[in-house]
Structure 1
Amino acid sequence: MRNVHFLSTLVAVLFFVGCKSTYLVGGNRSITYSVNADLPADTSIVNYYTPFKTAMEGEMNREIGFSEKFLNKSRTEPEFLIGNFFADALLEIGKKVDPTVEISFSTKGGIRSELKKGPVTVGSLFELMPFENTITILEMKGSDLLILANFIANTGGQPIGGFVMTIKNNQVANLMLNGKTIDPEKSYKLVTYDYLANGGDNVKGLNNPLNRINTPILVREGLIEYVEQLTKENKKINTQLDGRITIIQ
């Protein structure tokens, strides 16, 4: 990966140095200046940041993969394409950290954009996950995994990978992992990101893990590497709706 972590900081820096705001503190006097398009830019600042801006735009526009279809986002459907893509990528990222990881979990609200059909750029994955969230591995009891499953069911489905569930009346009707039901006394390893592991989005079931691994891997950096690896293997993104979450009447 080329300078992706550096660009995260650069985006914020350019925002501030690119502003045209001018103000003056004069003792106890307050002076208000109008900030609008008529205010001339400071050419010394513009000349300073322009090379960085050009480099950033070049990296953001760099094509790293190809999606064979439009990956949509949904707040109402239990399963949707960008959710499946994100969960599958998260699972592969987690397995690189710990090959025994079996499950991935995210929330609908954590996925911030859709993915267009066609070339996939670094910038499109920044839009998908713009936050500084990092990959987290949780080892948890089956009883806590069932609590998480009930949260997923009660909220109408969330992006998951590695297991299959059926929801009825906002409750778990069936939950299978590798063709087997969840054993409340057994331990399982799940990959998510720190915001959710810390209780974000009011997620239930993740707050009492048997073990927790906090990694420095930014989720979007993992996504970029995941897509780049697909391209190296001459594969395109071809995410499907596979029935991993189903709501029955």
Structure 2
Amino acid sequence: MARLTKMGIPLILVVWSIMACSRYFTPTKPQYTQYGISGEIPADSAYIKYYSPYQQQLEAEMNRVVGYTDVDLTKPSDAPETLLGNFFADALLAEGRKHYPNAEFSFGTKGGLRTELQQGNITVGLLFELMPFENELVVLELPGQSVQQLAQFIASTGGQPVAGIRMKTKDGKPVDIEIAGKPIDLSRTYTLVTYDYLANGGDNSRGLEKPSKRIDLGKKVREALIDYVSQQTKEGKNINTQLDGRITRNQ
């Protein structure tokens, strides 16, 4: 006689029912279809109608002119100082000082600047192309020894975008370093404006690892560039960056 559960249902029937409800599927032959994306695919009018207002709004903002550059802002790879680098570092320092007035110098890297700016109108879209990343401004208080290490990195990599600091390089080493017009003092603490990617060790930068103090400003570098160019325009100025010898090579 089958053993009964408390509810009077044969136990063997319960077990069989559970097993019967468990199904296992095993693929017998893999099949897939590859769809190529090209101009041959007909446009979906309903989808286009949905996103068109957003596209128009985006394009209007990207095409908005915020300033004008009188010169081509270029970044030759073999030059220790470049027009694009000077423009970028000047903007970093100016915008950083709005939040931290005592900031003394700024630092970026050539690799972070993704395009050059040709003479003519500067649009929001061009500045997005120049700095497409979500990097944000950071202020670092650095001991003099750390600034010396940073200068060594700048010299050994053939020069990087800087403002507020001047140096000569010889055999890949920095000499005659000046900050705010005065020779570097290794016993002092200096205030640098840069961005979080570099402050976190990006681009193999050196000298930023152990700041005495770090302040994250919560403002994207791209926004800082837009504000900087817009401010120049409000003051009736075009961008007219020049090479001024902030980094030179000793032969």
Whether the aligned pair in 2 keeps the contact of 1:74 and 1:108 (CA below 8 Å) is no
Q: Superposed, which structure 2 residues align to 1:3-152 within 5 Å? A: 29-152=31-154
Structure 1 counterpart SS, 2:132: coil
Give the structure 1 partner of residue 158 of structure 2.
Answer: 156
Q: Decide which of 172, 178, 182 is 2:184's aligned counterpart.
A: 182
Structure 1 counterpart SS, 2:134: coil
Whether the aligned pair in 1 keeps the contact of 2:151 and 2:174 (CA below 8 Å) is yes
Aligned-residue offset at 1:44: 1.6
Q: What letter corresponds to residue 228 of structure 2 in structure 1?
A: Y
Whether the aligned pair in 1 keeps the contact of 2:65 and 2:122 (CA below 8 Å) is yes
Give the structure 2 partner of residue 222 of structure 1.
Answer: 224
Give the structure 2 partner of residue 247 of structure 1.
Answer: 249
Structure 2 counterpart SS, 1:86: helix
Q: What letter corresponds to residue 238 of structure 1 in structure 2?
A: N
Aligned-residue offset at 1:31: 2.1
Work out the CA distance in 1 between the residues paired with 2:223 and 2:180: 28
Give the structure 2 partner of residue 22 of structure 1.
Answer: none
Structure 1 counterpart SS, 2:214: strand
Query: C-alpha offsets along residues 72-122 of structure 1, whole Å, 9 cap, x if unaligned?
Result: 112110001000000000000110110000010001101111111111111
Work out the CA distance in 2 between the residues paired with 1:181 and 1:56: 47
Aligned-residue offset at 1:216: 1.7
Work out the CA distance in 1 between the residues paired with 2:137 and 2:180: 23
Pair member with larger Rg: 2
TM-score by length of 2: 0.86
Work out the CA distance in 1 between the residues paired with 2:154 and 2:221: 21
Aligned-residue offset at 1:35: 2.4
Aligned residues: 223
Whether the aligned pair in 1 keeps the contact of 2:137 and 2:219 (CA below 8 Å) is yes
Aligned-residue offset at 1:28: 5.6
Work out the CA distance in 1 between the residues paired with 2:181 and 2:83: 23
Work out the CA distance in 1 between the residues paired with 2:35 and 2:151: 55
Give the structure 2 partner of residue 173 of structure 1.
Answer: 175
Unaligned regions of 5+ residues in structure 2, if any? 1-28
Structure 1 counterpart SS, 2:75: coil
Q: What letter corresponds to residue 210 of structure 2 in structure 1?
A: N
Aligned-residue offset at 1:37: 1.2
Structure 2 counterpart SS, 1:136: strand
TM-score by length of 1: 0.87
Identity of aligned residues (%): 52
Give the structure 1 partner of residue 233 of structure 2.
Answer: 231
Structure 2 counterpart SS, 1:234: coil
Aligned-residue offset at 1:215: 2.1
Structure 2 counterpart SS, 1:30: coil
Q: Which runs of 4+ in 1 moved over 4 A?
A: none
Whether the aligned pair in 1 keeps the contact of 2:73 and 2:84 (CA below 8 Å) is yes
Work out the CA distance in 2 between the residues paired with 1:34 and 1:199: 40
Structure 2 counterpart SS, 1:240: coil
Work out the CA distance in 2 between the residues paired with 1:44 and 1:178: 59
Work out the CA distance in 2 between the residues paired with 1:43 and 1:241: 52
Work out the CA distance in 1 between the residues paired with 2:140 and 2:51: 41
Aligned-residue offset at 1:30: 1.9
